[in-house]
Amino acid sequence: MVNFKGLNACDSFASLKKTSRIQLHNLLTPGRIEDLWIAHAAGFSYCYAFAPVDDLIVERLQALADEQQLIEKYRMLAEGAVMNTGEGRMVLHHLARGRLGAPVVWKGQDMDAFYRDEKRRFYEFAEKVRDGRVRSSAGRPFAQVVQIGIGGSDLGPRAASIALSRWAITRKRARLTPWFISNVDPDDADWVLSRIDLSETLFVLVSKSGTTQETLANETLVRERLKAVGLDPDRHIVAVTSNSSPLAGNPHYLDSFFIDDFIGGRYSTSSAVGGVIVSIAYGPETFEEFLQGAHEADILALEPSLKRNPVLMDAMIGVYERNVLGWPATAVLPYAEPLSRFPAHLQQLDMESNGKSVSRAGLPLSYSTGPVVFGEPGTNGQHSFYQLLHQGTDIVPLQFIGFLANQFSPDINSEDSSSRQKLVSNLVAQMVAFALGKEDENPNRLFSGGRPSTLLVGEELGPKQLGALFSHFENKVMFQGFVWNINSFDQEGVQLGKVLAKKALGAIGRGESSGDIRLDALIAAVYENAKHHPRADS
Amino acid sequence: MVNFKGLNACDSFASLKKTSRIQLHNLLTPGRIEDLWIAHAAGFSYCYAFAPVDDLIVERLQALADEQQLIEKYRMLAEGAVMNTGEGRMVLHHLARGRLGAPVVWKGQDMDAFYRDEKRRFYEFAEKVRDGRVRSSAGRPFAQVVQIGIGGSDLGPRAASIALSRWAITRKRARLTPWFISNVDPDDADWVLSRIDLSETLFVLVSKSGTTQETLANETLVRERLKAVGLDPDRHIVAVTSNSSPLAGNPHYLDSFFIDDFIGGRYSTSSAVGGVIVSIAYGPETFEEFLQGAHEADILALEPSLKRNPVLMDAMIGVYERNVLGWPATAVLPYAEPLSRFPAHLQQLDMESNGKSVSRAGLPLSYSTGPVVFGEPGTNGQHSFYQLLHQGTDIVPLQFIGFLANQFSPDINSEDSSSRQKLVSNLVAQMVAFALGKEDENPNRLFSGGRPSTLLVGEELGPKQLGALFSHFENKVMFQGFVWNINSFDQEGVQLGKVLAKKALGAIGRGESSGDIRLDALIAAVYENAKHHPRADS
């Protein structure tokens, strides 16, 4: 029987809190660095030698994972339990990459088959676009594909598209160039449209409900721009939406591919939300490999032992850092330029999932939940915010990601070493520097050390590895949500802003009262204060 | 007489800490929203009605600003005092946009004249590139300009180039397209080079010392790629460097423009570091307007009264949030897609300047200094990490930035309102939602509120406004550094990693020992664990 209870109700958490903390300086022997590795999916390995845990702490984290029944809950979720309690929904993003247990049947429909059928449909469509059977209204083959979506319909697919852009070029799989429009700020769409030739551009409109304000506003903008140059918008846009949305089966789109309420936006890169654009840009086989890597990592995450389950270990170390050591933020540092937007995806994934203050049963919590997540690629970050990470007054635990090979090749040598070797040398140097610090007579040059990190390292970043990375962090967030006994799959915190924005829009656009005196006062003050100044271009 | 002392030595800080905290819910009347605005430079206005301060707290923040002599210290800095104590250097980025007091003379040289002369030289060079008098080695006019630099030679100039790209197009000032290469990961450079035609590309190599590892490695890569297509690298690269660097006056560059040790990387967008690429891409007049906006904001920042000095108010509110309320992170949320990389610039500016644990005299501090800074443009962030900001267990104070007009025009209407109106309605709605929250029977939909913010709002984002924004945050960081009695102008925390990376590189590239057994163990383990897996493409 699975039992849901808060972190503070766990005996194992009480003993974890009493366990002596470690001194990384003393603990970090060569033997530890050699030993504390866990084999991961898709060729990755996970190192936790630089994490603030010793054998006893790991044992108690294991006890906490066991007491909170993390693997059992993961299995329940994978087999279709209603784990998104607030919204009364199943959580099926794992199923989009492969089955992990018993079939999931909903209203008589095999959900596995649903995801597979949609995938087959968009793979076929992608092949037609790629080989020129589907062409623009000007009769030209499509050369650009622009996703219009926001949040999960943007960040994950964008991060994935950037991550694979170089890889796809070197593998001769890059056929169409992917672009993204997300912000309701029209300077977003107009900028993208200024860079491309509309007569060779296909748009992928992504909105589950078919009512997302930003996405519909951008669709209107795009349709006007297409019409203005004599193109037929209906022949330039495909929709990704739920089968009950106004966009579904609508003749104003080339085609529509379906998603459902069981895959939340931030988990949807594995569905048609990420699959359509990746398949069109880089080929269905590329997206299929992405799904395989994610599925491989999903299977590995079923392992109950922390020492053999890298994502479970990673999740529990994060809980220890958050709830015992009390650290409020985490940095993710990919030493890989292709992962330049992966931190932005993780920021949504983690903060939107676990930035909650009530339990899954709706009771207030007495402990901290999800941290602030931020990051930029290394080595760039080293020349930016690492100063604070090394010598600031707070400790920020770090998650490094690295690879031993380039996507583009060959590399070049300068001063007797390749750029790749320089990149890897920086990564390992930083881990050691953060952990051990350095004594110095000059207090400005003293590094206290004791700043922990973990590492995910692989040979090379391809679609399979990228899928495993997406899975890793999704499952990490899921496990942490189980530990905290929260619902990681809703996002009620975004609703109030939407409601007030609608009221504000009436007040701004039509001069009405918003119905809220503070909102009215702010709108009046904003326009008064910004407008009495001369225009920027005068 | 100016006196340097720690925050905890300030009587005014002791009384500030004793002052009752406010309840934003009760305090936030329409009158307050109307009143708490401060006129800023370049047409901006600053609103602090939603900040967690009342009259008494502002009064005590003023007392603290006075006791720490913030304006006096700013004047000292602007007039050439050695405020970068650790490195024994003046801090002159303000001077690059205009004089604020007495002339600064160093070794007989008028530093004002130095910056002006360099500016005139690169303006002339920019005009020659723009009108085709300077051409590529293939005889073609340059159409692309690629900056090679990292950290401050990348983030600020990149943020500024993106911010002005649309504006420059609509004003017909966009002549060359700017690109950036920063990461030592060769997948960065190779990606950029795959997008452009080298025969029409000019590179701007930026390294003050002329020895930055990443930048030199990327220069080598670029030179090899230029040679490989029969171009003469010496006729495709200009240098921005100090006049004592190996790059200065070197015949292997088309020209060299000088910077000096008195402008730190993260403050250098106002110097040749940002000026060369912006002038080449968008015209000298565009960069000149950027400097004017910054200078205007610099002048305003000399005002001693918080209530008339928006940046001083902003800095002191940040100190209150960090040192009295104890909040460890701050989010910056520009409702402007053109500012998409401005938060990354601020992350460096703030965290590298104020992520310090010792005083300017080198003594350990007993209070917190700089916070974690992160952010993404709105409305994108609303569909991402705002969940945690609204309903997470920690409070994160917010800094909103907004504009009333587009850079591109005209806007389009959908559902009776323009995209711009939707964008502004979201911004104001979020401020109200964060501050006031919402009661709800459903605990999942309850918003506790009490989450404070400030707002910088302007009519439109042009170069002058952008300059004022750069100045605002530079001066905010400077004032906070003075309050904390730290040196905001060095970055010793980046040195240890550099030293260890050099050792690691020997071990990786030449199979030597690094001289550090933990580093050797990590290198061996990384290669062992990542390499025993099959290659990604097999």
Full DSSP string of B99-152: --SS--EETTEEHHHHHHHHHHHHHHHHHHHHTTSSB-TTSPBP-EEEEE--GG
For B1, other C-beta atoms within 10 Å of its C-beta total 4
Residue with tokens 């690492």: A386
Segment A466-494 shows an average pLDDT of 97
pLDDT of A123-163, one tens digit each? 999 999 999 999 999 999 999 999 999 999 999 999 999 99
Q: What is the mean pLDDT of residues A224-233?
A: 97
For residues A264 and A147, state if they share a domain.
Answer: yes
Contact A445 B492 (CB under 8 A): yes
Question: How would you write A38-78 as a 3-class SS string?
Answer: EECHHHCEEECCCCCCCHHHHHHHHHHHHHCCHHHHHHHHH
Domain boundary among B274, B291, B308: B291
CA nearest B484: which of B364, B309, B343?
B364
Q: Find, among A65, A489, A69, A487, the residue nearest to A317 by Cα.
A: A65
Q: How would residue B308 be classed by pLDDT, with cut points 50, 70 and 90?
A: very high
A interface mutation test: which of B171, B187, B341 has the most A CBs within 10 A? B187
Using the beta-carbon criterion (under 8 Å), do B385 and A347 form an inter-chain contact? Answer: yes
A112: which 2 tokens?
A: 């596995």
The tokens describing A207, both together, are: 């909105």
Q: How many residues does chain A have?
A: 538
Do A176 and A133 reside in the same domain of the chain? yes
Letter string b/e over residues B173-193, b meaning 16 or more CB atoms within 10 A of that residue's CB: bbbbbbbbbbbbbbbbbbbbb
Candidates A348, A384, A430; nearest CB to B348: A384
Give me the mean pLDDT over the B494-511 stretch: 92
Tell me what pLDDT residue B511 has: 84
Q: Which H/E stretch holds residue B330? A: strand B329-335
Closest Cα of chain A to B501: distance in Å?
Answer: 5
In this prediction, residue A184 carries a pLDDT of 96
Out of B363, B389, B432, whose CB is closest to A500? B432
Closest CA to A435 of A18, A19, A22: A22
If asked whether residues A335 and A482 sit together in one domain, one would say yes
Alpha carbon A162 to chain centroid distance? Answer: 13
Number of domains forming the structure of chain B: 2
Contact yes or no for A433 and B496 at CB 8 A? yes
Choose between B534 and A250: higher pLDDT. A250
Residue B402: the pLDDT is 98
Q: Would you call B37 and A490 a contact, using CB atoms and an 8 Å cutoff?
A: no
The whole-number average pLDDT for the span A322-339 is 98
Please give the residue range of the domain that contains residue A323.
7-96+292-489
> Does residue A397 register a pLDDT over 90?
yes
Exposed, middle or buried: residue B509 (CB in 10 Å: 0-12, 13-18, 19+)?
middle
Look at residue A110 and tell me if it is in a domain: yes
Average pLDDT for chain A: 96
pLDDT digits (tens, 9 = 90+) for B203-260: 999 999 999 999 999 999 999 999 999 999 999 999 999 999 999 999 999 999 999 9
Query: Is the bond leading into B364 cis (omega within 30 degrees of zero)?
Result: no
A146 and A271 co-located in one domain:
yes
User: Three-state DSSP class for B343?
Assistant: helix
Which residue type sits at A256? S
Q: Which of B259, B291, B323 is the last residue of a domain?
A: B291
Do the domain assignments include residue A494? no
Q: Does B352 participate in catalysis according to the annotation?
A: yes
Looking at chain B, how many residues does it have? 538
Contacts of A202 (CB under 8 A, 6+ apart): A129, A136, A142, A144, A145, A146, A176, A236, A237, A238, A254, A280
Dihedral sign, CA of B325, B328, B329, B330? positive
Q: Is residue B155 part of a domain?
A: yes
Of B217, B344, B431, the CB nearest to A422: B217
What is the SS3 assignment for B501?
Answer: helix
What pLDDT sits at residue B409? Answer: 76
User: Exposed (0-12), middle (13-18) or buried (19+): which is A116, by Cβ within 10 Å?
Assistant: middle
Structure tokens at B455: 């707002």
* A-chain residues near B530 (CB < 8 A): 43-45, 402-404, 457-459
Residues A284 and A316 occupy one common structural domain? no
Share of chain A above pLDDT 90, in %: 96
Residues A149 and A44 in one domain: no
- Residue B467 domain-assigned (yes or no): no
Q: What's residue A510's pLDDT? A: 83
The pTM for the full model equals 0.97
Q: Which of these, A264, A184, A138, lies nearest to B424 by C-alpha position?
A: A184
By the 8 A CB rule, do A477 and B385 touch? no
What pLDDT, on a 0 to 100 scale, did the predictor assign at position A532? 56
Q: Tokens 């920027």 sit at which residue? A: A536
Angle at A387 between CA B527 and CA A469, to 5 degrees: 40
Contact criterion met (CB below 8 Å) for A432 and B518: yes
Per-residue pLDDT for B101 more than 90?
yes
A37 has pLDDT over 60: yes
Write the pLDDT tens digit of every residue in B337-393. 999 999 999 999 999 999 999 999 999 999 999 999 999 999 999 999 999 999 999
A207 and A123 housed in the same domain: yes
Note whether A177 and A218 are same-domain residues: yes
A120 and A211, same domain (yes or no): yes
AA identity, residue B467 = G
Does residue A48 lie within any of the structural domains? yes
What is the rounded distance in angstroms from the CA atom of residue A94 to the CA atom of residue B307?
54
3-state secondary structure of B236: coil
Cβ-defined contact of B372 to A394 (cutoff 8 Å):
yes
d(CA B90, CA B77): 7
Give the 3-state secondary structure of residue B333: strand
Instruction: Indicate if A173 and A82 belong to the same structural domain.
Output: no
- Catalytic choice (B289, B296, B321, B352): B352
Indicate if A274 and A301 belong to the same structural domain.
Answer: no
- Smallest CA–CA distance, residue B367 to chain A, in Å, is 8
In our burial notation (b when 16+ CB lie closer than 10 A, e otherwise), range A206-237 reads bbbebebbbbbbbbbbbbebbeeeebebebbb
**CB-closest option in B216, B347, B356 to A391:** B356
* β-bridge mates for residue A413, sequence order: A418
DSSP label at B438?
B
Contact A425 B501 (CB under 8 A): yes
Radius of gyration of chain A measured on its C-alpha atoms: 24
**Between vectors from CA A428 to CA B486 and to CA B351, what angle results, nearest 5°?**
25
The residue type of B523 is I
Looking at residue A97, its amino acid is R
Q: Residue B228: which CATH number?
A: 3.40.50.10490
Residue B188 inside a domain? The answer is: yes
Chain A positions touching B373 (Cβ under 8 A) are: 385
Task: Decide if the complex's ipTM is over 0.95.
Answer: yes
Residue B251 carries which DSSP code? T
Beta-bridge mates of residue A306? none
State how far the alpha carbon of B515 is from the alpha carbons of A453, B103, B273, B512, in Å: 22, 49, 37, 9
Instruction: Identify the domain boundary among B265, B291, B317.
Output: B291
Residue A168 to chain B, least CA–CA distance (Å):
11
Give the CA diameter of chain A.
74
Percent of chain B surpassing pLDDT 90: 95
The model's pLDDT over A517-531, given as tens digits with 9 standing for 90+, comes to 999 999 999 999 997
Active site residues of A: 352, 383, 498
A199 and A68: one domain?
no
d(CA B320, CA B323): 5
Residue B208's pLDDT is: 94
Neighboring chain B residues of A429 at a CB cutoff of 8 Å? 497-501, 503-504, 519
Residues B356/B370, Cβ–Cβ less than 8 Å: yes
User: Which tokens belong to B81?
Assistant: 């005092």
pLDDT digits (tens, 9 = 90+) for B146-162: 999 999 999 999 999 99
In a domain, A496, yes or no: no
Domain membership of residue B214 (yes or no) is: yes
Are the Cβ atoms of B535 and A405 closer than 8 angstroms?
Answer: yes
Would the CB atoms of B369 and A393 count as touching at under 8 Å? yes
A506 to each of A324, B248, B421, B424, how far by Cα in Å? Answer: 47, 59, 9, 12
